[in-house]
Chains A and B, each alone.
Chain A
Amino acid sequence: MSQEWPLWEVFIRSKTGLDHKHVGSLHAADAAMAMENARDVYTRRMEGVSIWVVESKHIHASNPDEADEMYDPANDKVYRHPTFYVLPKEVEYM
């Protein structure tokens, strides 16, 4: 059995209303310790107001080798962007 504590991924919300962003990873024995370590490693310069931690093994990542078939087909489908609508002036941020 490995003597190393498991790896955790850390997500921080920088301020209320924004979404959590991945900021890095760390080692911890369990979720409670991961939360405290994340607080000390990633929020000590006022980077955030909320933390999510998830054990790295629970993250399922797409395979970089399949990037061609996964992402390239979207390249020439410009009609998938709703950019052909005329927005009223009052709607500032879309």
Chain B
Amino acid sequence: MSVNKLNYILQLADNALIIGHRISEWCGHGPILEQDIAITNTALDHLGQARSLFQYAAEVYNDLTPEARQSAFTNLNLPEGQEADEDTLPYLRDAWDFKNALLLEQDNKDWAYTIARSFYYDQFAVLHYTALKNSKDVVIAAIAEKSLKEAKYHLKWSSEWVIRLGDGTPESHAKIQEAINELWAYSGELFIPSEAEKDMIAGSIATPMEHLKTEWLSNIYTVLSEATLSMPDANAWMHTGGKTGTHTEHMGFILTQLQYVQRAYPNMSW
């Protein structure tokens, strides 16, 4: 077991946790009852994926040597020698030890931004989980297989909304085009492997995503065309940093809300 493997699993887990948390913020605020239920279902799907991945990450963490545990994080609020469980890593790490892509922590802002963010991620997740089904690591392969079914539905849902908004009223068209344009610069990072990821790719545990970018772009293009939206520039400059813990200002606010209860009242449950 290696720190690289832990970090790689956390990339996957943190992606699922943070998009799930962001989407869950809509719970009770959806534009209509039916979509409120739909988006909350989706949030729970992501959190379910995160849970499986955090359970596995905790296992990998517990198998590390004491020195490796020390070096794994800048700051993990877990007493030395104590075992981690599925709650340790989401609740007791700080922002700079989170490895989710920057796209997923971006603000909900409005329905169009929420849809565009999910759309980019869902398009990625379907390709990613499809490839990860062949991971040499059986746990990751199994989680990918289960998650893929959910991701396919998420993609259907977010694509339909991109089309509806794009091909809807002038106002909805303008809003979704803005969201598509504004979030574009956060999409590139998904395909750039971190050091941990490269190591896992070498061991056939992770899967190289760079060569799937063309397919991702063409799938995005198909939906945007149907939605009468224009495609952002494929060669535009892209933000990076999420995978190595350099996050946008949103991350601290997310964790404040997400971790408050466990930080203020350690080990409390209900």
On A, residues with C-beta under 8 Å from B are 5, 26-29, 32-33, 36-37, 40-41, 44
Q: Give the distance in Å from the alpha carbon of A26 to the alpha carbon of B35 in the complex.
A: 11
Contacts of A44 in B (CB 8 A): 37, 41
Say whether B78 faces chain A, with CB atoms less than 8 Å apart.
no
Besides A29-B164, A41-B38, 15 new A-B residue pairs in contact (Cβ under 8 A), listed by A number: A5-B32, A28-B34, A32-B160, A33-B164, A36-B156, A36-B157, A36-B160, A37-B37, A37-B38, A40-B37, A40-B38, A40-B41, A41-B34, A41-B37, A44-B41
Q: Give the distance in Å from the alpha carbon of A75 to the alpha carbon of B35 in the complex.
A: 45
On B, residues with C-beta under 8 Å from A are 32-35, 37-38, 41, 156-157, 160, 164
Q: Give the distance in Å from the alpha carbon of A75 to the alpha carbon of B33 in the complex.
A: 43
Contacts of B164 in A (CB 8 A): 29, 33
Q: Give the distance in Å from the alpha carbon of A33 to the alpha carbon of B157 in the complex.
A: 9
**Interchain Cβ contacts within 8 Å, total number:** 28
Within 8 Å by CB of A27, from B32, B157, B160, lies B32
Pair B34/A40 contact, Cβ less than 8 Å: yes
CB distance from A82 to the nearest CB of B (A): 44
Q: Give the distance in Å from the alpha carbon of A65 to the alpha carbon of B35 in the complex.
A: 37
CB distance from A28 to the nearest CB of B (A): 7
Pair B41/A27 contact, Cβ less than 8 Å: no
Contacts of B160 in A (CB 8 A): 32-33, 36
CB distance from B43 to the nearest CB of A (A): 12
The residue among A29, A36, A37, A40 with the most chain B CB atoms within 10 A of its own CB is A40
Q: Give the distance in Å from the alpha carbon of A35 to the alpha carbon of B38 in the complex.
A: 12
Contacts of A33 in B (CB 8 A): 160, 164
Q: Give the distance in Å from the alpha carbon of A44 to the alpha carbon of B38 in the complex.
A: 9
Q: Give the distance in Å from the alpha carbon of A29 to the alpha carbon of B37 in the complex.
A: 16
Q: Give the distance in Å from the alpha carbon of A55 to the alpha carbon of B157 in the complex.
A: 20
Contacts of B157 in A (CB 8 A): 36
Q: Which residue of B lies closest to A30 (CB)?
A: B164
- Listed by A's residue number, 14 A-B pairs whose Cβ atoms lie within 8 Å are A5-B32, A26-B33, A26-B34, A28-B34, A29-B164, A33-B164, A36-B157, A37-B34, A37-B35, A40-B34, A40-B38, A40-B41, A41-B37, A41-B38
